[in-house]
Amino acid sequence: MHRFLCALLAAAVSVSYGSQSPRGNVSLVVTGGTVVTVDGTGRVLSSAAVAIDGRDIVAVDAAAAIAQRFTAARTIDATGQVVLPGLINTHTHAPMVLYRGLADDLALMEWLQKYIFPAEARTVSPAFVRAGTRLAALEMIQSGTTTYADMYYFEEEIARATREAGIRGVLGQTIIQFPVPDAKTPADGIARATEFIRQWKNDILIVPAIAPHSMYTLDVESLKSIRAVADRERAPLIIHLAETADEVKIARDKYQATPTEFLDSIGAFSGRTVAAHGVHLTPGDIKVLAQRRVGVSHNPESNMKLASGTAPVPALQAAGVAVGLGTDGAASNNDLDMFEAMRVAALLHKHTSNDPRALPAASAIKMATIDGARALGMEREIGSLEPGKRADLILVSMSAARQTPMYDPLSHLVYVTRGDDVRTVIVNGTVVMQDRRVLTLNEKAVLDEAAVWAAKVREAVK
């Protein structure tokens, strides 16, 4: 009897393990949705699944194939939803959400000098930055952003709040010539940035960076020292570049060069650089940016709202420059919704070029995902749904009246979807929002704290 049972067991084992490969255990499977991979061939799979183990994606395939290959500790049903890589916002100033709608429809200099600079001088502090980052992170999670690049003050507070929220940040400590709340001189700012980079350089979610504000708000000596720190610490350098016609005029008058030519001449692009805006670029500038592999962040809503001009995105892309999308700070947008950024980018370039074929939906999605990752130098880790990459993905509902019917998920993601349609967000294999419930932040506490700061901001600009 005993021998017979053993033989039976052996037979059973040979059936489950002999005729097919063993099932692997994974921590999470997201199954049943339409998966927009944004991989090298742009695969879009219906009734598909993503298998995740720990922080990594291990397989992307038909739902049935994934079910056969893996046993999941946890399963999320994505039926009726589109699954895509988490969105990458390549340029913002997170705490500025607390200045959202403070002053609109003004010329840039009046807006800055009458409202933003006085408000910043009187309110920016570590506590302000923490509260603002929590609010920004809440908004980003709720609208599907899983990685963002930032430039602001007290960046170590931003790093802590971002880490608590469970999203990725490429966070640049800002350096500027005039005294600011966290540094009296550029040298103070550089020392702060160096310390910040050293403290955060091995974090799983945070990439610390150094952020010289721009070529027109720093002297040559400071810009060179900042580049040296970035090289020594192997940290990305984030800078505003050629945002306005005024900046081009300053560069001409002061250095007889374009902002790009000037920065290149002092070696500012010698290592990983992310340049925000790139609105006023010559064909020669575009060549330099391509040669130096500078990533560019396109911020269509901010550029339109401040009437800065239209960045030559198709020309940059044709030259091989990695162009990501950004929202810029909420004071000049006025939100952090990357779906809106995709839509506005797609519309703006058709309108400007008189060509409806300019910047198609698939291209806008790439800018918000894999091209954003390339611009930040993170394309090996994030930006597409492929085995071996970090599990940063979002599930987007497609059942609203405005999304019905759906013939083409790429079209819908760009032309009708809003941040509010995001249902579930996963970062580094961890669920940070499920069915609209943010799990890493106390939503009510974040909003209450923002209201307290709003009263102080109102007082500061009286």
Residue closer to Zn ion, measured from CB, 243 or 379 = 243
Whose Cβ is closer to Zn ion: residue 328's or residue 381's?
A: 328
The footprint of Zn ion on this chain (CB under 5 A) covers a number of residues equal to 1
CB of residue 296 to Zn ion, shortest distance in Å = 13
Q: Which is nearer to Zn ion, 70 or 111 (CB)?
A: 111
What are 377's two structure tokens?
Answer: 């130098």
Q: How far is the CB of 328 from Zn ion (least distance, A)?
A: 5
Segment interacting with Zn ion, rule: CB under 5 A, options 230-238, 325-333, 344-352, 403-411: 325-333
- DSSP reduced 3-state for 152: strand
Question: Are the C-beta atoms of residues 457 and 98 closer than 8 Å to each other?
Answer: yes
The residue range among 188-196, 321-329, 333-341, 450-458 that interacts with Zn ion, by the rule CB under 5 A, is: 321-329
For the chain, the maximum distance between any two Cα atoms, rounded to a whole number of angstroms, is: 97
Q: CB of 152: closest distance to Zn ion in angstroms?
A: 9
Using the minimum distance from each CB to Zn ion, give the nearer residue, 164 or 335.
335
Angstrom distance (rounded) from CA 262 to CA 240: 14
* CB neighbour list of residue 266: distance below 8 Å, 6 or more residues apart: 220, 223, 224, 227
Q: How far is the CB of 266 from Zn ion (least distance, A)?
A: 21
User: By C-beta, is 172 or 312 nearer to Zn ion?
Assistant: 172
CA distance 433 to 239: 31
Find the binding residues for Zn ion in span 71-130 (CB under 5 A).
Answer: none
Strands (E), 288-350: 295-298, 323-325
**Nearest residue to 91 via CA among 121, 135, 136:** 136
**Spatial distance between the Cα atoms of 256 and 274, rounded to a whole number of angstroms:** 23
Least separation in angstroms between residue 58's CB and Zn ion is: 37
Using CB positions, name the residue nearest to Zn ion: 328
Shortest distance (Å) from residue 176 CB to Zn ion: 12
Stretch that binds Zn ion, among 218-226, 328-336, 412-420, 433-441 (CB under 5 A): 328-336
Integer Rg of the chain from CA? 24
Beta bridge partners of 56: 53, 390
Q: Residues 415, 364: contact at Cβ < 8 Å?
A: no
Kindly tell me which of 53 and 182 has the beta carbon lying closer to Zn ion. Answer: 182
Binding site for Zn ion (CB under 5 A): 328
